[in-house]
Amino acid sequence: MKVLSGIQPTGRPHWGNYFGAIRQYIALQKEEQSFYFIANLHALTTIRDGEQLRKNSIDTALDLLALGLDPSHATLFVQSDIPEIPELCWLLMSGTPMGLLERCVSYKDKIAKGLPIVTGLFTYPVLQAADILAYDSEVVPVGADQVQHVEVCRDIAQAFNHNYGEVFVLPKPKVLDNSAKVPGTDGEKMSKSYGNYIEIFEDVKSMKKKIMRIATDSRPMEEPKEPDSDHLFQLFSLFADDNSKSEMAALYRAGGFGYGEVKKALAEAADSYFAAARERRAELESNLDQVKQILGDGAATARKKAAEVLARAKAACGV
C-alpha cells in the first residue's frame, strides 16, 4: 500500500493537529511506501513573506521528525523541491472542467465568507491532484471533511485516463479516526481560527498558563459531575493511561474536588507526553544540516518516482 500525505507549513501544530491527524499519519509510515511532503506551494495562497515560509517549512520538518516520522521508513520532502509537480499540474489542468473546481467546498467557503479569491485557491485541487497522482498513491489519509479532495483527484485522474488511457492510479481516501475529540481552551473544537489552541512544542510555562485558564462551569466542588461531557476531562484523556483516566473519572463522579486539581493533572500529563518529542526537536534544531540532508534525500527519492509518472503522462498526451 502506497500512502501519501501533505502538511501545509502555515504555523506550529497544536494538540488538535496531533491527535486528529499527525499521530495517525505517522502510524502509517511503515506501509509499503509512504510519502510525506511539506506543502509550501499550497501555502503560497496565504503566506506573503518568503522568509517566513522558509522558516515555517523547516519548522514543520523539525516537528514531524521530532514527533516520530522516521526517514528510514517514510520519504519526507518539501513540495517545491519536486519540479515535476507543477508540470504535471499543468497537464491535469488542461483537461479539468471549470465546473468541477467551482463545486469544491474550500472555494465556495471562501466566497461565502467574502474573502479575496486568488487563482491559486481556485486551482488548488488540481495541484493537490498532481501531488497525489505523481507517486502512484493508493491511500490518502484525510479527515472526514476532506474526503472531497480525494474524490476530486479521482475525477481529474479518471478524465485524463478516459482521454489518454490508464495512466494514473486512482487513490482512495482513508478517513482518519476522529473519535479522539480535541476541545480547545474554551470547549469548542481546538482551532487556530478560534485562538483556543495549545501548541505541541509550546514553552512549558506558557502551556501551563493556558491550561489554568481553560474555561469550566460554576458547579460547586461537592457536586458529582459526569466526566465524559466535560471538555477538561476529554483533554486529560488524550494524555492519560487507562488507570489514570479511570481514577479521574471516579473523582468526577464522587464530587468534592476542584477543577484546578484536574488542570494540574492535565498539565503534568501533557508535559510528560511530549517531553521526549521536545528533546528530539531540540537535538534536531541544533543540527539543521542533518534535517536538510533528510529533506534532500527525500526529494531525490520523490523526484525519481514523480519523473517516472510524469514521463508516462507526457507520453500519453503527446508532449
How far apart are alpha carbons 318 and 223 in whole angstroms?
74
Q: What are phi and psi of 224, to 5 degrees?
A: -60, 150
HSE-up of residue 226 (Cα within 13 Å, Cβ side) = 2
How far apart are alpha carbons 38 and 55 in whole angstroms?
12
Q: Determine contact, residues 77/299, Cβ cutoff 8 Å.
A: yes
DSSP assignment string, 186-197: TSSBP-TTTT--
Q: Of the residues 2, 192, 245, 314, which is catalytic?
A: 192
Residues 6+ apart with CB under 8 A from 258: 221
Please say if 110 is a catalytic residue.
Answer: yes
Q: Of the residues 2, 30, 55, 110, which is catalytic?
A: 110
Please say if 108 is a catalytic residue.
Answer: no
Cell of 215: 474555561
Place of cell 480525494: 150
DSSP state of 171: P
DSSP state of 169: P
Q: Of the residues 189, 245, 264, 314, which is catalytic?
A: 189
Please say if 208 is a catalytic residue.
Answer: no
Place of cell 534525500: 297
Catalytic positions, written as ranges: 110, 189, 192
